[in-house]
Structure 1
Amino acid sequence: MDAATPLGMALALVALVVSIFMEGGSLAQLWNPSALILVLGGTVGFTLTTFRTKDFSMLPKAVARAFSAAREDRAAIAEEIVGIADTARKQGLLELQNRLAQFGDPLLRRGLSLVIDGMDPQAVREVLDQEVAIQRRRLESMAAVLEQAGGYAPTVGIIGTVMGLVHVLSNLGDTERLGPAIAAAFMATFYGIFTANFFWLPLGTKLRGQAERFEEHARMIILGVTAIHTGDTPSRLREKLETYLRDESGRAQRSTWAPAPAAPGEMDMATDHPQRD
């Protein structure tokens, strides 16, 4: 699980509870079952109306995916790709077939299997590009469902408040219950705004970020597979992969990634196996 997601939610809840107590209120004031049912049910219903059943059915998976941590270690994958390139140059591509099941990343296994089967480098890239595009669209579709729900929630809350105020105005004779009734009516707006900004929109944004990081990760793998196919030297491949191992400040992530100088004789091997465009 990505610790940032539950930690952020917990911090938001703590801030809300503390502010209520500082104002002399109580948590009971936030409980209004009818308003909560309206907001949650209306949000889900409007979202279901917007999307296909197939897209909407991904909602539970989208929520689970937003809470999960990314399963990628670019430095480790890059090191693995360089090792594969070294094996391919020394022992040939067919040697990789015996080790294919050992490679952890499914896209890497897929790309290498295409290479081993003798597919043209351009065709390999096109197949992998298409698979990456499909996976990214799937993640973005999940994010769209969450974001759309976040857009509907405040609107449903306003609808609930208007309904509550209509009920209040139809019973103005009972002055003793007027104040509590108005407060209860505004709880629907609170639920709508709170669920949108506490749950739906943050998780949707989280998924969009995962989609972007997935594509960067996939592009690094595609570059590596293509370089292996065209006979790049391990040292040259390291230089290419270095671009994908930089953090936001532009510094290379070298926790497990330590580019090494070309091995003795590697330049001669490069002459025997020239890089193809």
Structure 2
Amino acid sequence: MDKISIIAIIGGVSAIVAGQALEGGNVASLLQLTAFMIVIGGTLSAVMLQSTPRQFLTGLKMLRWIFVPPPNDAEKQIRDIIGWSQGARRGGLLSLEPQVGVQTDPFTRKALQMLVDGGEPDTIRAVMDVELSMFEHARKQSAKIWDAAGGYAPTMGILGAVLGLIHVMENLSDPSKLGAGIAVAFVATVYGVGSANLLFLPIGAKLKNIIASEVAMKDLIVEGIVAIANGENPRIIESRLRGFLALHN
């Protein structure tokens, strides 16, 4: 569980609510269903329009990473690779065949299978680099829906403000309806700017950091597999792979 994300979201919302209360404003005035529908509904619709169904749904699923990041234990991965290297030196590459079936990550399983099948180091690297490039591209395209939401939300807030002011102008002769229209106008702007800068843009940035960490992990795997294919000493392989740990701190 990523506690800092929970603290950040609660802290950001609390700061806005507390600021409203300290200025003597009514906190309940920030709760406007109409403004929420305009900003959030409009933003989601715009993001859906620019995305493919796969990108949009994957991007929504990635939201859980903000609170529960995917497992990414570089230390364990290095230990596994060193174990494979030692096993290959003792019993040959074919002795690693049982390890292929227990891998839950398709990327790792494919790289290890190519090693067991006797693939040349350059061939293994070329194939897995293409696989890694496609993985990174797909992940980043899905994460971009949150950056897009951060761009559209303020504009939707302005749209909500204009609609609220139109409502006000239509009811100038009825003072009892002016308050609601003005509230929608200003609260929509708060929702648009607030959601973009407190949620959507930070979420997009954090997802890109997580993706970069995932890519570094898979790059580590490729480096280790290629080193085993080259017959390098396990101690040398370990020393080289530990350079990747800085990307996981």
- How high is the TM-score relative to the length of structure 2? 0.91
Kindly report structure 1 stretches of 4+ aligned residues shifted beyond 6 Å.
Answer: none
Task: Decide whether the 8 Å contact of 2:213 with 2:247 is kept in 1.
Answer: no
Q: Which residue of 1 aligns with 2:57?
A: 57
Q: Does 1:135 align with 2:135?
A: yes
Report the alpha carbon displacement of residue 51 of structure 1 after superposing the two structures with TM: 1.9
Q: Which has the higher helix share?
A: 2
Q: Which residue of 1 aligns with 2:213?
A: 213
Task: Decide whether the 8 Å contact of 1:78 with 1:241 is kept in 2.
Answer: yes
Alignment of 1:65-84 (within 5 A): 65-84=65-84
Report the alpha carbon displacement of residue 56 of structure 1 after superposing the two structures with TM: 2.3
Residue by residue over 1:27-64, the C-alpha shift from the partner in whole angstroms, topping out at 9 and shown as x without a partner, is 31111111111111111111122222332232421322
- The structure number with the bigger radius of gyration is 1
Could you say what the CA RMSD is over the residues aligned between the two structures, in angstroms?
2.0
Structure 1 residues 208 and 87: CA distance shift in structure 2, 3 A: same
Alignment of 1:1-277 (within 5 A): 1-103=1-103, 105-175=105-175, 178-179=178-179, 181-246=181-246
3-state DSSP class of the match of 2:15?
helix
Task: Decide whether the 8 Å contact of 2:100 with 2:113 is kept in 1.
Answer: yes
Report the alpha carbon displacement of residue 179 of structure 1 after superposing the two structures with TM: 4.9
Task: Decide whether the 8 Å contact of 1:108 with 1:225 is kept in 2.
Answer: no
Q: Which has the higher mean CA deviation after the structures are superposed, 22-31 or 100-109?
A: 100-109
In the aligned structure 2, how far is the partner of 1:67 from the partner of 1:49? 27
Report the alpha carbon displacement of residue 152 of structure 1 after superposing the two structures with TM: 0.5
In the aligned structure 2, how far is the partner of 1:136 from the partner of 1:178? 51
Q: Which has the higher mean CA deviation after the structures are superposed, 38-47 or 194-203?
A: 194-203
- Gapped regions of structure 1 (runs ≥ 5): 254-277
Amino acid at match of 2:129: D
Q: Which has the higher mean CA deviation after the structures are superposed, 173-182 or 64-73?
A: 173-182
Task: Decide whether the 8 Å contact of 2:47 with 2:148 is kept in 1.
Answer: yes
Report the alpha carbon displacement of residue 210 of structure 1 after superposing the two structures with TM: 1.3
Task: Decide whether the 8 Å contact of 2:2 with 2:67 is kept in 1.
Answer: yes
- Gapped regions of structure 2 (runs ≥ 5): none
Percent same amino acid among aligned pairs?
33
Task: Decide whether the 8 Å contact of 1:44 with 1:149 is kept in 2.
Answer: yes
